Chains A and B, each alone.
Chain A
Amino acid sequence: MGKAELPLHAPGTKVDRGYIGESVPRPGLQRLLQGRGAFIDDLRFPRLAHVAFFRSPYAHALVKKLDFKAALRAPGVIAVLDGRAVAEYCTPWVAVLAHLKGIKSPPQHAIAIERACWQGEAVAAVVAESRSQAEDAVALIEAEWKELPVVVDMDDALAGRNVIHPDLGDNICFKREHDTGGVDDAFSSAVVVVEETFHFGRHTGVCLEGRAILADYNAGEHSLTVYHATQAPHMMQDIFSRHLNIPEANVRVITKDVGGSFGIKVHVYPDEMATAAISVMLRRPVKFVADRLESFLSDIHAREHKAKVRLACSKEGDILAFDLDDVTAIGPYSVYPRTSGIEGNQVVNLTGGPYKHQKYRAKMHVVFTNKNVTCQYRAVGHPIAVALTEGIVDIAAQKLGMDPAEFRRRNLIADDAYPYTFPSGIKFEKLSHHKTLDLLLQKMDYKALRAEQAELRKQKIYRGIGLASMIEVTNPSPAFYGVGGARISAQDGATLRLEPTGMLTVMCSVTEQGQGTEAIFAQIAASAVGVSLAKVKVITGDTGITPYGGGTWASRGAGIGGEAVLLAGRALRSNMLDVAAAMLKMDKAELDIAGNAVVHKLTTEKKLELAELGRVAYFRPDTLPLDFQSELTVTRHYTPRQYGFTFTNGIQASLLEVDPDSGFVKLLKHWCVEDSGTVINPMLVDEQLRGGVVQGIGAALFEECIYGPDGQLLNGSMADYLVPMAGEMPDIVCAHVETPTMQSQLGAKGVGEAGTAGAPGAIMNAINDALAPLGARVTRMPFTPERILKALKKVD
């Protein structure tokens, strides 16, 4: 059997998987290693203008007057624009989706008109010949403001004493209730009932490269080329087309190197829309790169939840029911076009997800506040759902006097119970909770660690071991956004072209943001066609070149884009064999492709180099039969449809030490066992997990956007907002269970968000495990030394 025909997920079959499953280094990295990448700010254009924004210093205020006179006279200034001027070129948007019933949000403009609703919202733009000149002129804008009442607290928002958008009637953007029935009965009959309220701080992505856009309007052809650090080029093409009124095919979005995204760069940002509109207005290229201070004020934030969760349990330790009440505050607008209702919705869908109880009730409110907007950021809702589920599970185990690992083993959904419908309504194709738990306990030598912990406690050394099981949404179908009316593609496509020399060009709609998308597409394409990896060149991130598709989000690149590449590869291989059969005058069924050549299928004797096949197909087709036309460019698409999402599962563990005198947490080690289906490149998967875990550790220990009662961000710089640095991070052990999805030929599920989803819960449980003998518990992330000392009642 040739490499390309492999039934990659056939259980028990021994097949040559080509490069699938190989830890090959990513091709093309030398460019980035030598500082020769092409990030937006590296691009040079003639007549390039730079834009800087005048942002509201108040969390909520009317703009009574903007005086641009001094700014207009400043050196290098080309234009100074308010919201009305930009609105003539860019229509406003409303971020709602039909399947989030009742969700509401007011219209939002590229530049705010009359009123600013958060500190940092842009109310004017200065365009100048250089960024520094634009910033100088911003400082010369004079504004008169009338401050309005500020809503910063989510409970105040819910109570609605001050309504931020009076037209909407209240501060509730979206609410959802879910009830299987029987929850009250389960709680009243339960022997063990536990309850806790968990708080999750608001944090943000801190991509090292700020948001960046360079829009280049050509008035001669009414076309707009946008160089954009985005995760979703086709979505942005549609957005620019509709809101700037330029025909879709005249808009080209090009995404070159992107300096980190993590969900931050998948949204529509008002200042970026303004930049594109200004390019149209001024008929010249215009660039905006968010600097670090404005990134903190204007990149989406995320999380900020307060969740009360109750768990009912039998005396034997069987979980009977979960009861959840979650509130999340999202700032003054739902973010376009994905909405800010998804994270809360995910918390309702996922809470309790690994366990086999049948009764579940949830209530969830999404409220407006006068802080920066929040929206989908790496692992959307999962870190909340996992931490509050695993937090309450540990509390229940503690109350029962059961070991947390044993309590999980008793309650995790059995590995042979699939397909399975969870009480929230979501469906699991096939998960492997018990396999991952067993592997984790073995990898970490759980029993030995527990023994060591007990020994050290005698010496007043407080170590904690925390576990976090999880389920995770990956490979979303159109059920995620499309059904709600969002013009966001759940489908992706790949075009493969055999070049005359026998090389392979792959063009795919999923983008590369550093996760290794292009590398795994090269591996899949090479394996499916039968060429060596060095023969493959991958192109992504250009709506003018690649097939249409969704891009990079929701852990979908490998599972959806990868499947499209596989299908296109198999089709191209078949077409190549047609050419070979015609050239060799042999039966196609006797031929195969391996090692950059056409070979005899049975004897593997080399029959034809691919370079010769290409030469004849492209330059001497006159030598082929008259009724034969070669087709050596092939496009295939893939959309997952059988399930709403292809769920994955995994489990993490943290080992750490808490110093009860200082409140400091020292991370000693972290383990992550994940089932992401077919693993295409183990090294890249592990690195996704590790990076994700560290991002989750940041949320658990360091990161919080702290607002004052007046809605002012108090720590909006990298000197004040702490991120994980190398010195504090542990080594992370990764291991895998592979349960391929049967929905696709490739069998890959997503993995990009798993680390971030599970780490905060594991860290929290480990800290609380360490604090348990001291009678303390922390429930408010991030777990700063101050909060730990407060829990220990050592400070007020």
Chain B
Amino acid sequence: MDHAVETTLTVNGTRITRRIAPRVHLVDFLRDELGLTGSHIGCEHGVCGACTVRVNGDIVRGCLMLAVQADGCTVETIEGLSDSKELAPLQQAFHEHNALQCGFCTPGMLMAAQDLVRSGTKPTRDEIRAHISGNYCRCTGYQAIVDAIEATINGKG
């Protein structure tokens, strides 16, 4: 920890300054240092999408970004977007369609889905499937997730 770097970032609207070891990934920092355990760790090599968070408005893999790289950044997590109600329509649609089973992929899936929702486009089902193809879900088979996202975008969430 001798090489820790002072890092200042805004997480879910709160400005935070910490000394962080350069090797700590953003998702480990969020979970272990800030206790924001909603962002999950599934593969730690950027494939599964469970750790998806939003940095400066773009969704990123929390396991492929170092926490020190977030210096000066605005980070939003599932907890923040739940409290702000930004995710409420998607969350309601996921609930009604049973678009989650074990719920482990769900925070990352919602972050990815919301990225599509707020793009303002009217994607087809195939386009929805393509957009969430970086998020692995072993439980649902994806159809209910596609249904929920489609319903939200069409205002039926």
Measured CA separation A84–B95 after assembly (Å)? 49
Contact yes or no, B132 A209, CB < 8 A: no
Q: Is residue B26 contacting chain A, with contact meaning CB distance below 8 A? A: no
Q: Is residue A13 contacting chain B, with contact meaning CB distance below 8 A? A: no
Task: Convert A226-243 into 0s and 1s, putting 1 for each residue whose CB lies closer than 8 angstroms to a CB of B.
Answer: 000000000000000000
Contact yes or no, A32 B45, CB < 8 A: no
Q: Is residue B145 contacting chain A, with contact meaning CB distance below 8 A? A: yes
Interface residue from B96, B102, B136, B142 paired with A257 (Cβ < 8 Å) = B102
Task: Convert B88-115 into 0s and 1s, putting 1 for each residue whose CB lies closer than 8 angstroms to a CB of A.
Answer: 0001001110101111111100100000
Measured CA separation A694–B40 after assembly (Å)? 23
Interface residue from A30, A260, A262 paired with B104 (Cβ < 8 Å) = A260
Contact yes or no, A208 B45, CB < 8 A: no
Q: Which of B54-62, B64-72, B75-83 contacts A (4 or more CB under 8 A)?
A: B75-83
> Which residues of A are found within 8 Å of B38, using beta-carbon distances?
34-37
Q: Is residue B140 contacting chain A, with contact meaning CB distance below 8 A? A: yes
> Which residues of A are found within 8 Å of B128, using beta-carbon distances?
726
Q: Which of A587-605 contact B (CB under 8 A)?
A: none
Min CB gap B12→A, angstroms: 11
Q: Is residue B153 contacting chain A, with contact meaning CB distance below 8 A? A: no
Given contacts A35-B37, A35-B39, A36-B79, A694 and B141 within 8 Å (CB-CB): yes
Min CB gap B54→A, angstroms: 13
> Which residues of A are found within 8 Å of B42, using beta-carbon distances?
208-209, 292
Contact yes or no, A41 B41, CB < 8 A: yes
Pick the most buried of A33, A687, A695: most chain B CB atoms within 10 A of its CB. Answer: A33
Number of A residues whose C-beta is below 8 Å from B? 53
Measured CA separation A58–B40 after assembly (Å)? 31
Measured CA separation A291–B25 after assembly (Å)? 15
Min CB gap A227→B, angstroms: 14
Q: Which of A1-59 contact B (CB under 8 A)?
A: 25-26, 29-30, 32-37, 39, 41-42, 44
Given contacts A687-B140, A723-B136, A33 and B98 within 8 Å (CB-CB): no
Contact yes or no, B100 A514, CB < 8 A: yes
> Which residues of B are found within 8 Å of A406, using beta-carbon distances?
none
Q: Which of B118-146 contact A (CB under 8 A)?
A: 125-126, 128-130, 132-146
Measured CA separation A44–B143 after assembly (Å)? 35
Measured CA separation A731–B139 after assembly (Å)? 15
Measured CA separation A298–B145 after assembly (Å)? 30
Given contacts A206-B138, A514-B139, A260 and B145 within 8 Å (CB-CB): no
Q: Is residue A223 contacting chain B, with contact meaning CB distance below 8 A? A: no
Contact yes or no, B138 A262, CB < 8 A: yes
> Which residues of A are found within 8 Å of B20, using beta-carbon distances?
none
Measured CA separation A717–B139 after assembly (Å)? 19
Interface residue from A26, A259, A690, A719 paired with B40 (Cβ < 8 Å) = A259
Measured CA separation A208–B110 after assembly (Å)? 16
> Which residues of A are found within 8 Å of B146, using beta-carbon distances?
726
Given contacts A35-B107, A260-B104, A687 and B47 within 8 Å (CB-CB): no
Q: Is residue B50 contacting chain A, with contact meaning CB distance below 8 A? A: yes
Contact yes or no, B98 A684, CB < 8 A: yes
Contact yes or no, B102 A513, CB < 8 A: yes
Measured CA separation A292–B135 after assembly (Å)? 15
Measured CA separation A691–B141 after assembly (Å)? 4
Q: Is residue A732 contacting chain B, with contact meaning CB distance below 8 A? A: yes
Measured CA separation A516–B102 after assembly (Å)? 9
**9 A-B residue pairs with CB within 8 Å:** A26-B95, A208-B102, A258-B102, A259-B103, A292-B43, A515-B101, A694-B141, A695-B141, A725-B134
B-side residues, CB < 8 A to A, are 23, 31, 35-45, 47-48, 50, 77-79, 82, 87, 91, 94-96, 98, 100-107, 110, 125-126, 128-130, 132-146
8 smallest CB-CB distances across A and B, nearest first, come from: A35-B38, A32-B103, A514-B102, A259-B104, A514-B101, A35-B78, A694-B141, A690-B141
